[in-house]
Structure 1
């Protein structure tokens, strides 16, 4: 993916987080965001945002970072 595509993914996950931030506690909201990514994002999109979060992640909101981190857990499939 190009830098433009990565920037678009960053924007999208931050928007999803902004829309779902009210979904209960911070952990519940992060779970809702992660659930959305699992359900609607292609594997390549999820891997790109995971890689970005591991390498930098500075443009991700706190909630987005937490949601993306939960995608990396071995017990969960992406």
Structure 2
């Protein structure tokens, strides 16, 4: 995936996080992670997970937490 595509993934993840604040941060993180899991292509998720694991400095806090939840889910499923 090119750098500009990664930039777009970061923007989209941050927008999802910015627009989905629920009662608690934990609920928000779970919602964001579920949304990305359901609607993003596997390659998109993998690219964002790799970016977050490398530091993910452009992701906001909730987006980072959601991506790390996804990472744990993918690791536990061995996919």
TM-score, normalisation: structure 1: 0.92
Q: Which runs of 5+ in 2 are unaligned?
A: none
Which residue does 1:72 correspond to in 2?
71
Which residue does 2:10 correspond to in 1?
10
Which residue does 2:19 correspond to in 1?
19
- What CA distance in whole angstroms lies between the structure 1 residues aligned with 2:44 and 2:78? 14
Q: Write the mapping of 1:54-65 to structure 2, written as runs, cut at 5 A.
A: 54-65=53-64
Q: Which runs of 5+ in 1 are unaligned?
A: none
Between Structure 1 and Structure 2, the one with more helix by share is 2
Name the count of aligned residue pairs.
77
Which residue does 1:30 correspond to in 2?
29
Q: Which runs of 4+ in 1 moved over 2 A?
A: 74-78
Cα 1:16–1:77, aligned 2, differ >3 Å: closer, same or farther? farther
